[in-house]
Amino acid sequence: MDSDQPAPASHRRRFLIGLAVAALFAAAFGAFLLGVAREGARRDAEERRSVVQLLALTDLVDRAGGQPAAAEEPSYGLGEELPPVDVPAEGTVPDTGGGLGDELAALDAGADSAETPDPGAATRQAVAAFAAAHPEVKAIRVVLFDGLLLEASTALEDLDEKAGEKAAPRRLERDEKPLYDLGQQLRAAVEGNREGQEGEAREEEIAAERLSGGLLRLSAPMERGGAPVGMVQMDTLVETPETRGAGFPWLAALLAVLAPVGLFFLISLALGERRALLATLAAVLLLVSLSAFALWSTRTLAADRRAAAEATAAAVKAEGERSIAQLAELGLPSDPPPAPETWDADRYRQPRGLVQAGQAGATVDQDRLDHESHQDAGRVHRAVITLSLIALVLLLYVGLGWAARTGAALVEHRYAYTYTVPALAAMLLLVFLPFFYGVALSFTNANVYNTDKSIFETWVGLDNFVEIVRDIGVAEQTPDGISWNYQSFYWTLGFTIVWTAANVVIGVSVGLLLALALNTKDLAFRPIYRVLLILPWAVPTYITALVWKGMFHKQFGVMNQILQIFGFDPVSWYDHPFTSFLAVLTTNGWLSFSFMMVVSLGALQSIPADLYEAARVDGATRWQQFLSITLPSIRPALIPAIILSVIWTFNQFIVIFLVSAGEPGGSTEILITKAYRIAFEQYRYGYAAAYSVIIFLILLAYGTWQNRVTRATEAIGE
Amino acid sequence: MKRDGVSHWPLHLFLLVMVVVTIYPVLFVITIAFSGGQALSIVDLPPDPGIADRLRAITPWPETVSTENFRSLFADQPFSRWLLNSVIISAATTFMGVMLSSTAAYAFSRFRFPGRRAGLMMFLVSQMFPGTLMMIPLYIIIVKWLGLGSTYMSLVLMYSVTAIPFCVWMMKGYFDTIPKELEESALIDGASQATIFFRIVLPLARPAVAVTALFSFMTAWNEFIQAATFMDREDMYTAPVGLRFFVSGFSEQWGYFAAGAIIAAIPVVLLFLFLQKYLVSGLTAGAVKG
C-alpha cells in the first residue's frame, strides 16, 4: 500500500502531524464551547436564584401595597407639586453616610407612625425588612407609575448627604426616566401577554441587566388587583472573585490531544509505512478521544445543572420560610399563603416547574432535571459530530499530503494569489456571504429587534415561504363589484409581470423603429438625432424618475396641462391603479428605449449591404427583406439585450419607488419595491428575505427557460 | 431627398417627434432650474386659462431667467456638502475599484494557477444575485454588526464590489491583448513583479484603466437605493439622496431639485456619451456569457 510516488515525507509523520492538528483543533474548540456553555449555565443559575428572591420581594411588596392604608392614597397629578411627604427617613439619615442599617432604623421609626395616611410606609417597611435579611441584595427600588413616584429605595445614591431631598418617597427625576421607561415596558409586556393568543410570541416580563462589579439588576412588574401599577427593581451581588471563572477544562482538553497522539506514535511504530492502516488508526483514535471528551462534557454539564437546581431549590425553600416569617413580623396578610415554588420562574414569570413544593420544603423534580440534562447531551452530541467531521477532514487533508500540496501551490503561484486575493476576498465578504446569509435569513423571523440573535434562535423553517405562497386572497366579491387586495403577493406578482411585459414591448418596438429609421442610408442630421435620442439612457435614473413624478403632478404637472389643451379633465394620476401604472410606464418607456435603439442600430449596421441587393435582384419586397434578412441578422444581438431589459425592468426599483411609490395603496408596487418596504418600513427582515429569494428564483427560472428557448429556436434556424 | 423611391420626410417627422418627446423633460428641468423659484409650474396660470395660456404653461422657457436657484442651492442649502460626499465616495470607489480589479484582472490574464477558472466564474455568477436579496443582509452586516451606518466606508465598499466584476472582465480582455514579451524582457532585465505591473503593464493599459475608472465613478455617482438606505444622517447624504430630499414628502422645492439635478447630471451625461460604446459591448458580452 505504499504510495505510488516516492514522497519525501513519510506517511507516518504526516498522519502524526495531521492527527495532532485535528485533535488540537477539536479539543480547543470543544473546550471553548464547553467553557462558554458552563459560563452561561452559571450565569443562568445566578439569575434563577436572584429571580426567586425578586419574586419573593415582589410578593412581599404586593401584599404591603394592598394594605388598607393604601386606599386613602392621594393621587398626585403629573403637573402638580408633590405634597410634602411625611418621610420617616427625613432627619435621621443625613449624617449616616448611607449605611443600610441606618436606613432600616429610619424605617423602623417610620413604622411607629403607621397610622399616618402615608401609603408607602408599609411598602418601605417591607423593603427594608427584605433588604436586612439579604445582605447580597445591594439595592432595591420600588417605582409607582401613578404620580411617577419612587415609592421606596435602599439604593445608596438615594440615601446620601442630600437624602433629605433624595430619599424615597419622591418624584422621579428627569435623569431617572430610563427607570420609568423600563417599568412601562414591563407593564406593556404584561398586558400584551395577557391579551395575547395562546402560542403567540410572548414578551419578557422580567428584565435582567448585568452591571459592573458583579451586580445583576432584575426588574419585575408590581401588581395590585391584577393590574401592573409599578415596578420592583433589585440589584444583587452575584459574582465574587471566588465564584469560578470561565470553567475552561484545561486538563481534559490537554488529555484529549496528548492521548491519541501518543497512542498513535506508539502503535504506528509497529505499523510502518502502510497508508490505509495509518489513516484508519488515526481516524479511530481521533474519534475515540473526541467521544470520551464529549462524554466527559455531558457529565460535567449534568453535574452543573444538578448543583444549580439544588441551589435553586434551597433558595426557594429559604425564601419561602423567610417570607412567612416576615409576613408575620410585619403584620401583613398571609392569605393566600405565599407559593414559593412559583418563584422559580423564567423571564416570562412562568414557573419552570423544576422545583416542587413538598412536605420537606422544596425538592428538585428528578424527571425534569433528567429531561434537561438529556437536552444538554443532545446539544453536546451535535457539536461533537460537527467537530469530528471537521477534524476528520483536517486529519485527511494533512495526512494524505494535500496540505503540503496546497502549501506548495501557494508558494509557487504566490504572485497570482497576491494579485487576486484582495478582489476575491472583497467579493466573498460583500457579495457571496451576504447572499448566503440572505438565503439563510429567509428561513427565520429576523426583524429589527433580534438581529443580535443567531440564525438558529430565530429559525422558523419554511414559514415565510408558506405565508407568501398561501397569500391567495387577491380578489374579493363585494356588493360594489370586485375589490382587489393590493397587499397580496399574487397581485404584486401579476402587476410585475404586466409591468415588465409592457415595458419590454414598448422599449423593443420603439427602439427598433428608431434604429431602423436611423439606419437609413444618407439620412440627414443622423449623428444629431442619435446623440439626442441617447440622452435618456445617459441621464441618471433617479433624476428622470423625479422629473416625471413632477410632470405627472395633479395640480402643476405639465401632463395635465397638455390634457387640458385637448379639452380633457385633469387626472389625479396617483389615485387610481391604472393611471398610476400609465405614469410609471411612461417614465420607464422614456428611459429604456435608448438602450434598445443603440443595440439594434449596432446590429443593423453590421448587416452586409449586398444581402439586400441580392434580395432586391430576386424581387423581394421591403417587408420580405425585413423578415428574412434584417430580423434574423439582428437576433443574436437583440436577444441578449431583451433578456437584459426583462431583468432590468423586473428589478426597476427606482422608477416605481420614486414615481408612484406604490400608490394608490400599494397597487403599483413591484416585487422588489415590496420586498424593500417589508424590510425597511416594516422591519421584517426574514419575511423580506424570503420575498427576495422568491424573486431570485423567478428570475432564475426565467433565465433558464429563456436560455432553452433561445437554443431551441437557434437549432431550428440552422 | 429621394432614393430607392422612398421619401425621407416621414422618417424625419417621426424622428423629430421622438426627439421632442426625448428632450422635453430635459428642457423642462432646465426651465425650472433657471426660473428662480421653487414652483413646479412654468408660469402661473390665470384663474380661467385659455388655450394660449396653457400652451405657454407647457413651453419650456421660464417667465424670468435667473440663476438664483443655483446660488441659493450652494449658499442656503447643504447641497455643497452632499456634492462633496458624492465626490469623496465616488473618488474612493474609483480608486478601490481600479486597484482591486486591475490587479485581479492582471493575474487572471497572465498566470495559470489553481482556482483561476473558479475565480473568473465567481465574478460572473455574482452578477445574477438580485439587489434586494443582498440589501437586507448587507444592511444587517454593515449597520447592525459593523456599525458602519452613515459612513463613507459602507458605500465605498459596496460600490466597489458592485463595479468589480464588470471591470475585471473588461480589463482582463485588454491585458490579453498586451504582448507578453514586454514583461518577459523586463523580467530578464531584473525587474520585480511589482515593477512590471505598475511601471509597464498598467501604463500600457491606460485606455482600459480609464474606462474602468469612469465606469466605477459613474456607478458610485448615480447610485440611489443603497445611499438612501445606509445614509441616515442628513449631513452624510449623497447628491442623489439630497436631491430626492428636496421633493419628497411635503417638501416641494422643485427649483433646488432642478438646479441640483443639472449639476449632478452634467458630468455623468458627458461621461456616458463618451463611454457608451464600451458599455454596450461590455453589457451584451456579459449577458451572452452569463
Q: What is the pLDDT of residues B107-125, one digit of tens each?
A: 998 888 888 888 888 887 7
Q: What is the mean pLDDT of chain B?
A: 84
Q: Chain B: nearest CA to A311, how far in angstroms?
A: 37
In angstroms, the CA A565 to CA B55 distance is: 7
Q: Which of A159-168, A215-224, A524-533 has the lowest mean pLDDT?
A: A159-168
pLDDT value of position A95 = 39
pLDDT single digits (tens) B253-272: 899 999 999 999 998 888 88
Do the Cβ atoms of B225 and A657 come within 8 Å?
yes
Q: What's residue A546's pLDDT?
A: 92
Residue A114 CA to residue A135 CA, distance in Å, equals 26
The SS3 call for residue A128 is helix
Segment A293-302 mean pLDDT: 87
Task: Please give the interface size between A and B, counted as residue pairs whose CB atoms are below 8 Å apart.
Answer: 251
**Nearest residue to B162 via CA among A699, A424, A647, A431:** A431
CB contact under 8 A, A427 and B11: no
Q: Is the CB of B14 inside 8 Å of chain A's CB atoms?
A: yes
d(CA A360, CA A512): 92
| Chain A residues touching residue B132 (CB < 8 angstroms) | 653, 672, 675-676, 679, 688, 691-692, 695
The band of A714, judged by pLDDT with boundaries at 50, 70 and 90, is: low
Q: Which 3 state secondary structure label does DSSP give A161?
A: coil
| B130·A696 Cβ contact <8 A | yes
The answer to whether the CB atoms of A420 and B108 lie below 8 A apart is: yes
Orientation of helix A402-412 relative to helix A366-399, angle to 10°: 60
For the stretch A630-655, what's the b/e string if a residue is b when 16 or more beta carbons lie within 10 angstroms of its beta carbon? beebbbebbbbbbbbbbbbbbbbbbb
pLDDT-wise least confident of A475-484, A688-697, B11-20: A475-484
Tell me which chain B residues have a C-beta less than 8 angstroms from the C-beta of A703. Answer: 128
**From the CA of B145, how many Å to the nearest CA of chain A?**
8
Q: How many Å apart are CA A208 and CA A219, to the nearest integer?
A: 7
Please state, in angstroms and rounded to a whole number, the distance separating the CA atoms of residues A183 and B166. Answer: 55
The pLDDT of residue B282: 53
Per cent of chain A over pLDDT 90 is 9
Indicate yes or no: CB of B129 within 8 angstroms of CB of A696: yes
Q: Indicate whether A107 pLDDT > 60.
A: no
- For chain B, positions 118-147, list CB contacts with chain A under 8 A: 119, 122-123, 126, 128-141, 144-145
- Nearest residue on chain B to A700, alpha-carbon basis: B128
Q: Does B80 touch chain A (CB under 8 A)?
A: no
All residues of chain B having their beta carbon less than 8 Å from the beta carbon of residue A679 are 132, 135-136, 139
* Closest chain B residue to A447, measured at CA: B140
Write down the pLDDT at residue A313: 83
- Of the candidates B18, B164, B288, the beta carbon closest to that of A533 is on B18
User: Quick one: pLDDT at residue B6?
Assistant: 62
Q: Does B168 touch chain A (CB under 8 A)?
A: yes
Q: For the residues A464-492, what does the mean pLDDT come to?
A: 81
> Would the pTM count as exceeding 0.80?
no
Residue A224 β-bridge partners: A227
Sign of CA dihedral A686, A692, A698, A702: negative
Residue of B nearest to A516 (CA): B11
Q: What was the pLDDT predicted at B277?
A: 66
Read off the pLDDT of each residue in A159-176 and give the average, rounded to a whole number: 65
Q: Which residues of A touch B131 (CB under 8 A)?
A: 651, 653, 672
Interface predicted TM-score (ipTM): 0.88
B286 → chain A, closest CA residue: A640
Out of B8, B225, B243, closest to residue A520 by CB: B8
Contacts of A514 in chain B (CB under 8 A): 15, 18
More confident position, B23 or A475: B23
Asked whether the beta carbons of residue B268 and residue A534 sit closer than 8 angstroms, the reply is: no
Q: For residue B40, give the nearest of A424, A553, A643 by CB distance.
A: A553
In tens, the pLDDT along B167-215 reads 888 888 888 888 888 888 888 888 888 888 888 888 888 888 888 888 8
* Rounded distance between C-alpha atoms, residue A203 and residue A421, angstroms: 46
Say yes or no for a CB contact (<8 Å) between A535 and B103.
Answer: no
Least confident segment among A149-158, A702-711, B133-142: A149-158
Give the closest of B14, B101, B107 to A416, CB-based: B107
pLDDT one-digit tens code per residue, A318-374: 888 888 888 888 877 777 777 777 787 777 777 777 676 665 566 777 777 788 788
- Which of B3, B123, B283 is nearest residue A522 as measured by Cβ atoms? B3
> Which of B19, B57, B160 is opposite residue A532, by nearest beta carbon?
B19
* Rounded mean pLDDT, A699-718: 75
Q: Bigger pLDDT: B149 or B81?
A: B81
Q: What cell numbers appear for A451 in the block?
A: 438581529
Of the candidates B178, B196, B212, B180, the residue with the CA atom closest to the CA atom of residue B101 = B212
Q: Please report where in the chains the cell 430635459 appears, as a residue.
A: B26
Q: Which of A539, A637, A688 sits opposite B284 (nearest CB)?
A: A637
> Quick one: pLDDT at residue A352?
74
pLDDT (mean) for A455-464: 79
Query: What pLDDT is stored for residue A72 in this prediction?
Result: 37
- Whether A435 sits inside 8 A of B134 (CB atoms) is yes
pLDDT-derived band at A545 (thresholds 50, 70, 90) equals very high
Kindly identify which residue of chain A lies nearest to residue B45, measuring between CA atoms. Answer: A556
Of the candidates B55, B103, B137, the beta carbon closest to that of A565 is on B55
Each residue's pLDDT tens digit, B14-37 = 999 999 999 999 999 999 999 888
- Nearest chain B Cα distance for residue A637, angstroms: 8
Residue to mutate among A417, A431, A649, A678, with most B CBs inside 10 A, is A431
- A430 or A3: whose pLDDT is higher? A430
Give the C-alpha distances (Å, rounded to integers) separating A198 from A189, A190, A194. Answer: 15, 14, 10
> What percentage of residues in chain A have a pLDDT greater than 70?
84
Cross-chain CB nearest to B22 (options A518, A535, A564)? A535
Which of the two residues, A681 and A160, has the higher pLDDT score?
A681
State the best of A414, A430, A458, A697 to mutate against chain B, taking most chain B CBs within 10 Å.
A430
Identify from A405, A419, A453, A623 which residue to disrupt to test chain B contact, counting B C-beta atoms within 10 A and taking the largest count: A419
Closest residue of A to B224, CA-based? Answer: A542
Residue A505 pLDDT greater than 90, yes or no: yes
- Over 70: is that where the pLDDT of A160 sits? no
Which among B12, B57, B103 has the least Cβ separation from residue A561? B57
Q: Do B161 and A427 touch (CB under 8 A)?
A: yes
Q: Quote the CA–CA distance of A509 and A514 in Å, as a whole number.
A: 9
Tell me the average pLDDT of chain A: 79
Q: Do A542 and B160 touch (CB under 8 A)?
A: no
SS (H, E, C) chain B: CEECCEECHHHHHHHHHHHHHHHHHHHHHHHHHCCCCCCCCCCCCCCCCCHHHHHHHHCCCCCCCCCHHHHHHHHCCCHHHHHHHHHHHHHHHHHHHHHHHHHHHHHHHHCCCCCHHHHHHHHHHHCCCCHHHHHHHHHHHHHHHCCCCCCHHHHHHHHHHHHHHHHHHHHHHHHHHCCCHHHHHHHHCCCCHHHHHHHHHHHHCHHHHHHHHHHHHHHHHHCCHHHHHHCCCHHHCCHHHHHHHHCCCCCCCHHHHHHHHHHHHHHHHHHHHHHHHHHHHHHHHHHHHC
Mean pLDDT along residues A43-68: 80
pLDDT band per the 50, 70, 90 thresholds, residue B280: low
Residues of chain B positioned with their CB less than 8 A from the CB of A692? 130, 132-133, 135-136
**From the candidates B2, B6, B15, which should be mutated to test the interface with A, based on the most A CB atoms within 10 A?**
B15
In a mutational test of the A interface, the residue from B284, B288, B289 whose CB has the highest number of chain A CBs within 10 Å is B284
**B269, A535: Cβ pair inside 8 Å?**
yes
| pLDDT-derived band at A40, boundaries 50, 70, 90 | confident
CB contact under 8 A, A413 and B114: yes
Nearest CA in chain A to B11: A517
Within the 185-244 window of chain B, which residues sit less than 8 Å (CB to CB) from chain A? 193, 197, 221-222, 224-225, 229, 240, 243-244
